[in-house]
Amino acid sequence: MRTALAVAAASMLVAGAQQSGGPNATLTAVAGIKVGHFTLAERPTGCTVVLVDGDAVGGVSQRGGAPGTRETDLLNPLNMVDKVNAIVLAGGSAFGLEAATGAVRWLEEHNIGWPAGASRVPIVPAAIIFDLGVGGNPKVRPTADCGYKAAAAATSGPAQEGTIGAGAGATVGKLGGPGRSTKSGIGTAAVTLPNGLVVAAIVAVNAVGDIIDPATGKVVAGVRNPDGTFADARKILRSGSIGQPRAGENTTIGVVATNARLSKALAARMALMADDGYARAISPSHTNGDGDTVFSLATGRWDGTADITVIGALAAEVMADAIVRAASQATGVAGIPAARDLRK
Amino acid sequence: MIRATVVLLLAAGPACAQQPATVNATLTAIDGIRVGHHTLAERPTGCTVILVDGRAVAGVAQRGSAPGTRDTDLLLPVNAADRIDAVTLSGGSAFGLDAANGVMRFLDERQSWLTRLTSGMDVPTVSSAVLIDLWVGGKPSIRPDAECGYRAAAAASRAPVAEGSVGAGAGATVGKLTGLDRAMKGGIGSAALALPSGLRVAAIVVVNALGDVVDPSTGAVVAGARNDAGGLADARRLLRAGAALQRTRVAENTTLGVVATNALLTKAEANRVALMADDGIARAVTPAHTSADGDTVFAIATGQWRGAADSSVIGALAADLVAEAIVRAVRQATSVAAVPAARDLK
């Protein structure tokens, strides 16, 4: 049901699921939003750039205990700047924040940014995931070049999913100790209402917890048993058999976007409600070892009226959908199997 | 298996189900925590007081958009207060914050002569939050006052907590996305877990959400907006279909919770536990944290158990128990003022 897409050559190195046929059910279903991935196949890791044609009102919800972020304070509704030009999601832990530098460079070359006297300053909030433990070569991490190339590759075609971009090195299900995690990746989902309102999400899922399908309560990907079934983090926790979850290996980072017109405060509320999608599809979520962060973008290209409760509720729904897709569309790498590899 | 006696208990009491005294699976399973309800007779509303014996630290997560709170700022880790004496949950909208005055008076009266002699005066720390139930029962001028808080505090005990349409949950309702005439009864619920290590985590939640209550273990709606046939419409489907919703009104909602643990936590860790416990609201209420909900969760750590436990583990269990308590709140609720409860569904 999703249209096929030719992707940047670099991202072909690691397979990402392509959607085929039908309407665009990815983040780029929101007009004016482009997505580009760049994947470093050496490890794997990478970055994903969400580009806004012109600008959009932005917000953020930062609730995980181990964040790595840039330009999130600026998104506080009390602060002045209310428009953003791009959001960068990257692997590589705090080193990966460098990817935003490349996106800023690309935007400056295209004369896009906040008008600040003599020049335009590109506003690029960013967040990273901790994937240095995947692939055995922690020196390989996204650089400014990665961010530049992902920005240059950004298109309005359906966004690619799976083991690609910021999701290339993402894993989930780390409560059972080393060697039992499952490969995850990046996923995206969108909903379009009959009145024209569009709400969409993209998310790189690298949680300490398991991925749960909220529609059924079942584990989609998580801590593996030796026989390839899932142990269920919720049961592990309730049995008291886990020790201290390890920090430095986790974090889920995402973006929700809408074509509605929102104030900066309402964009922040949209991000806050979208964060409920994490709670529903990841268990546990927002731990000390996760830097869970959600950005929101409101392009204002749709003139209809919609209550923030409806937009926020849909943002939480599509965010949960996107998280489930991140797990179901991923492919195994570096000896870590994905959910699809475990299917009998 | 803890719930095996539920059938018997339902027959025993119309307003609330008591859990067996042998296994306390409610908030009072945490040593040092006492809970008392007071329900007003004139209109279904009331308040619930959680008393803390001895020293405990606390945190808060306030993420709903329409809150009514008191002494929440002092719980932030950058602020000085390092103990909590009580949490008051109340109906009656902002008027209901009065209930905390009665709890202050109750605690003040019980200060020992020694405290007065040595430190002159201890100021009790009573954090509070309210839910908005003024439309239920037709008499909005009836709301919990200081007397209600005083009585609930005086009634507080270590017994398993009464659940359902009682205390702060007396006037609580859920499923209001398509209008008040489609709503169902909410209430108050509680759940607890004890690990082999001795760690205990428990929750109490008053559920008065705009959204539906969903059982996260199955994804099924337990109570919520009703359809024309009187069955459950499913708020998630209505939202995704772009169904015409009632303009969401601020004045009718809010879910409030308290989680408690016997672990020793810093104030910052207690805030992390409150933040994670709030994920239980996201899982069991859909939608949650809307512009018309004042959703607030408090976390209390008594520190009476000195084992090692990570605040992420405690937070994860707290989220599970909050979700469980929410599901219990609507399952244990009984119909009031013509608003049907989950148990009334065919």
CB contact A314 to B (< 8 Å): yes
CB within 8 Å: A191 and B236 = no
CB contact A60 to B (< 8 Å): no
pTM of the model: 0.89
**In whole angstroms, what separates CA A277 from the centre of its chain?**
12
- Mean pLDDT, all residues of chain A: 91
Is the distance from CB of A256 to CB of A201 less than 8 angstroms? yes
pLDDT at position A12 is: 38
CA gap A216, A211 in Å, rounded: 12
Domains and CATH numbers, chain B: 2-340 (3.60.70.12)
Give, to the nearest 10 degrees, the angle between helix B311-332 and helix B267-284.
Answer: 40
A86-108 pLDDT, tens digit each: 999 999 999 999 999 999 999 99
How far from B331 is each of B40, B70, B252, B335, CA to CA, in Å? 22, 29, 20, 11
What is the β-pairing status of strands B86-90 and B126-130?
A: parallel
CB within 8 Å: B286 and A213 = no
User: Worst-scoring range by mean pLDDT, A244-253, A312-321, B28-37?
Assistant: A244-253
A4-34 pLDDT, tens digit each: 333 333 333 334 444 456 789 999 999 999 9
A131-142 pLDDT, tens digit each: 998 888 899 999
Is the distance from CB of A198 to CB of A24 less than 8 angstroms? no
Q: How is residue A134 annotated by DSSP?
A: S
A:B CB pairs within 8 Å: 129
Second CATH level (architecture) for the domain A9-334: 4-Layer Sandwich (3.60)
CA gap A112, B187 in Å, rounded: 52
A43-73 pLDDT, tens digit each: 999 999 999 998 999 999 999 999 999 999 9
Q: Which residue has the tokens 């602060």?
A: A79
CB within 8 Å: A269 and B287 = no
pLDDT at position B143 is: 95
- Three-state secondary structure along A13-75? HCCEECCCCCCCCCHHHCCCEEEEEEEECCCCEEEEEEEEEEEEEEEEEECCCCCCEECCHHH
Weakly modelled stretches of chain B, pLDDT under 50: 1-20
Residue of B313, B324, B326 to mutate for A, most A C-beta atoms under 10 A: B313
What is the value of ipTM here, to two decimals? Answer: 0.85
Phi, psi (5° rounding) for residue A131? -125, 15
Count of residues making up chain B? 346
Q: How confident is the model at residue A245 (pLDDT cuts 50, 70, 90)?
A: low
A126-174 pLDDT, tens digit each: 999 999 988 888 999 999 999 999 999 999 999 999 999 999 999 999 9
CA gap B71, A127 in Å, rounded: 33
CA gap B296, B75 in Å, rounded: 13
CB within 8 Å: B245 and A237 = no
